[in-house]
Amino acid sequence: MTSQDPYRHHPELRGRIKPAAQSFFRDLDMEALDARIAETGRGPDWRTPCALREAARRDWLHGHLDRDLWVFGYGSLMWDPGMEFTEVRRARAPGYQRSFCLWDDGGRGSPDQPGLMLAIDAGDWCEGLAFRLDAAQVEHETFVLFRREMIAPAYRPVWLPLDTAQGPITALGFVADRTCETIKPDIPHDEQARMIATAQGMLGTNFAYLADTHAHLALLGIDDPYINDIHNRASAYRAST
């Protein structure tokens, strides 16, 4: 293990994070994705136009595109970042926590049985992973990242102060945008569990998404009481019906 090894701080994570070249998100085919969305009856306005998204990315990252950049992952970004990175650290974001607050009536839900996807919203803390992007790669890697995270209105980029064992850092993160109608932060936990237990969309069942999140957090050694609680409630609901 050398100073250039991305896993030098956490060798236990090696093999548990998908290489960028293997990620579905690395070379996302927008036309193919639009076609799949159209099959659900939605029009082309379901997502943010590429030109607007790119303008927002460049505006947000103005002054940061020529230096190393940290990115915080709390969901699938942790095990499938889709980015080339030069360092990974376990990190904790104070003031935020995971929340199934993103309304989904297409991907993992339907108009008749909507589901819920994950975001981070105001709370106590969120433990995740921080990835450092090399300055020479920041331009392309953030293009890939914004295409994924900002594909449709739901999140907003923020600069997050993070605590790590190697010292404090500041990272780019994506949090719930409460100005979006798809963000619904006040759904009771029992109702969250019921929705997740029953919803299904073009990407599969909502419960499979929850179970995958729960399993990957365990694999990475991250214990999130909220995710454990929703998983237990949804599992119990499915067993009782």
Is 87 a residue of the active site? no
For residues 178 and 184, give the distance between their C-alpha atoms in angstroms, rounded to a whole number: 8
C-alpha dihedral sign at 58, 64, 66, 71: negative
Q: Which of 192, 119, 128, 197 is nearest to 162 (CA)?
A: 128
Phi, psi of 113 (to 5 degrees): -135, 80
The CA-to-CA distance between both ends of the chain, in Å, stands at: 51
Choosing from 87, 149, 181, 191, the catalytic residue is 149
Q: Is 29 exposed, middle or buried (0-12, 13-18, 19+ CB in 10 A)?
A: exposed
**177-184: Cβ within 8 A, 24+ apart:** 177/153, 178/121, 180/153, 180/154, 181/103, 182/102, 182/103, 182/104, 182/153, 182/154, 183/101, 183/102, 183/103, 183/119, 183/121, 183/154, 184/101, 184/102, 184/103
For residues 152 and 188, give the distance between their C-alpha atoms in angstroms, rounded to a whole number: 25
Q: Tell me the H-state helices in 74-129.
A: 76-79
Q: Hey, which residues are catalytic here?
A: 149
